[in-house]
Amino acid sequence: MEEKHALTEQELEKRTREVEQRIRELNCLYRISRLLEEKDISLEEILQRIVDIIAVSSCSPGDTSTRIVLENQVFAAGTPHVSARKLGCDLVVHGNRLGVLEVYCREGAPEAKERHLIDAVAGLVERIVEQKQTEIALLESERRFRSLVENSPTGIFIIQNNMVVYENPEEKRISGPLARLLREGDLSNIHPDDAENVRLGFQRIVTGEDRTLDMDFRFFFKAREDADPEMKWVHCRASLIEYLGKEAILVNKLDVTRAKELEYLLRTEDKMASLGRVASGIAHEIRNPLSGINIYLSNLERMLNGAENMASVNEILAQLQSASNKIESVIRRVLDFSRPSEPRFIRTNINHPIKEAIDLSSVTLRKTGISIDILLAPNLPLCDADPSLIVQVILNLITNAAEAMKNMDGRKIIDIASSVEHEHIVVTICDSGPGVPFHLRKRVFDPFFTTKDNSTGIGLSLSHRIVSDHGGSLTVSDSRWGGAAFAIRIPARETENPG
């Protein structure tokens, strides 16, 4: 009976040790599997923690050491016993042998049980390595993709649930009303000529009628709060995509302003070259017979001096002469426009031609009830300019301002000032008229473009060309009264070739 009892206790002790070992193995596998759930931990740290866990989970923790060799990296825990027995298992990931898991146990430890644990742990290690390699590959792919997007010359943003959920740096640089358009249908800053096309395209992409939409259009935006709005051309592609499991709109926006401007300049230059050739031919064809008419009129006047009713004859002759002079003047203007004369630059105080232009126009302005405010900066630096051409430009701008205010009620003001800004002499001619709308501020300088009746549309274009020949610029913005403010900027330093 006692012998039977002793056997039962031995069996119970053996089963207890087996259960304890099984619990250690399960704890070992559980602790290792939990490492899969940790996100902010490196693969190296995981492998070191695995060998530490195995070393304390074996049959004989004090006499067990563990080592993982992975692609020439070694992670170890414990010191092998002098009579240790090595158990190993290859680590295979995606069909490639990347390393080995080795456990050194004291002699006498049950190999089958240790082998079972090692095989199970090796399987977990392979899964962890595979998962981490996939995460690293995904992160690297995302990093490369983000780098491409962040450094793209195309503005990129994503709209989801009426919110901009992402925009790259280029989109922030050229950001305008487009994001608001896709969120709220706001067309206020879209160029009037493009607004309807943009609205229809917006509806098609939002309703899903089109999955992808390509469109070129113009819009106005302010680079700074204190700056005037600028017009930009953009090529825009909007696409319906799935983003984070939900439908979104991906928008790519490319600034094509410079390309459009160059394209427009090329077209204009081609038209002007053709127009110049035609105008020159017409002028030369007309000038010769016109000169003959003037000669015949002069001779006729001398022949009829002794005739009766000379008052009527002289009146008719005067009218013919006046009409002839007008034709000559028109031809001269067309020729000047098609083949402008070269400026004759001299060192000039820009205030002198300004005063001359004011003197020439002051009587007419007073008769039309327009007051002039003059603020000319003293001691302006000299510049290279053709005074007669500058007088022509300023006179043209004053005349345009007077024409714009001709039928207005209320106070009519023209403000003329000169100053120095950033090594440029600046002359401003401002008025209290109706102003120039944003979308026309570049077109007003186009040849033959006009918003006035009985106007050739040459004046502002010729003025723009004269100022450009001086190495300067002529621009238009809003005056403080809401009218037009034209600014002439000419370099305030002497140049070898001002044109």
**What is the structure's pLDDT at 94?**
81
Instruction: Reply yes or no on whether the pLDDT at 176 is more than 60.
Output: no
**What is the structure's pLDDT at 394?**
92
User: How large is the average pLDDT for residues 285-305?
Assistant: 64
- Range among 59-73, 165-179, 360-374, 418-432 with highest mean pLDDT value: 418-432
Q: Which domains occur in the chain, in start order? A: 11-148 (3.30.450.40), 155-255 (3.30.450.20), 261-338 (1.10.287), 346-491 (3.30.565.10)
Instruction: Reply yes or no on whether the pLDDT at 443 is more than 90.
Output: no
What type of residue is 142? E
Using pLDDT thresholds of 50, 70 and 90, give the confidence band for residue 285: low
Instruction: Reply yes or no on whether the pLDDT at 485 is more than 90.
Output: yes
**What is the structure's pLDDT at 498?**
40
User: How large is the average pLDDT for residues 372-391?
Assistant: 91
**Three-state DSSP class for 361?**
helix
Give the pLDDT confidence of 457-475 residue by residue, as tens digits. Answer: 677 888 888 898 898 999 9
What type of residue is 206? V
Instruction: Reply yes or no on whether the pLDDT at 410 is more than 50.
Output: yes
- Range among 41-45, 286-290, 325-329, 479-483 with highest mean pLDDT value: 479-483
More confident residue, 202 or 282: 202
Judge if pTM exceeds 0.75. no
Instruction: Reply yes or no on whether the pLDDT at 308 is more than 80.
Output: no
- How far lies 344's CA from each of 405, 447, 462, in Å? 34, 24, 16
Distance of CA 96 to the CA centre of its chain: 48
Q: Which residues contact 257 (CB under 8 A, 6 or more apart)?
A: 231, 232, 233, 234
Average pLDDT of the chain is 77
**What is the structure's pLDDT at 495?**
43
What percent of the chain is modeled with pLDDT above 70?
73
Instruction: Reply yes or no on whether the pLDDT at 299 is more than 80.
Output: no
Instruction: Reply yes or no on whether the pLDDT at 354 is more than 80.
Output: yes
Give the pLDDT confidence of 9-67 residue by residue, as tens digits. Answer: 777 777 777 777 677 777 877 888 887 777 778 888 888 888 888 777 665 555 677 88
**What is the structure's pLDDT at 496?**
44
Q: What is the DSSP letter of 308?
A: S
Using pLDDT thresholds of 50, 70 and 90, give the confidence band for residue 490: very high
CA separation for the pair 248, 239 (Å, rounded): 8
User: How large is the average pLDDT for residues 185-204?
Assistant: 79
CA separation for the pair 282, 312 (Å, rounded): 33
User: How large is the average pLDDT for residues 301-311?
Assistant: 60
User: How large is the average pLDDT for residues 209-227?
Assistant: 78
What percent of the chain is modeled with pLDDT above 90?
12
**What is the structure's pLDDT at 497?**
42
Tallying the residues shown for the chain, one arrives at 499
Give the pLDDT confidence of 72-113 residue by residue, as tens digits. Answer: 888 888 766 555 677 788 888 888 888 888 887 766 555 556
CB-based burial label for 91 (10 Å; 0-12, 13-18, 19+) = buried
Q: Which residues contact 94 (CB under 8 A, 6 or more apart)?
A: 130
Q: Give 377-439 as a DSSP string.
A: PTTPPPEEE-HHHHHHHHHHHHHHHHHHTTT--S-EEEEEEEEEETTEEEEEEEESS----GG
Nearest to 126 by CA among 102, 99, 154: 99
User: How large is the average pLDDT for residues 238-246?
Assistant: 84
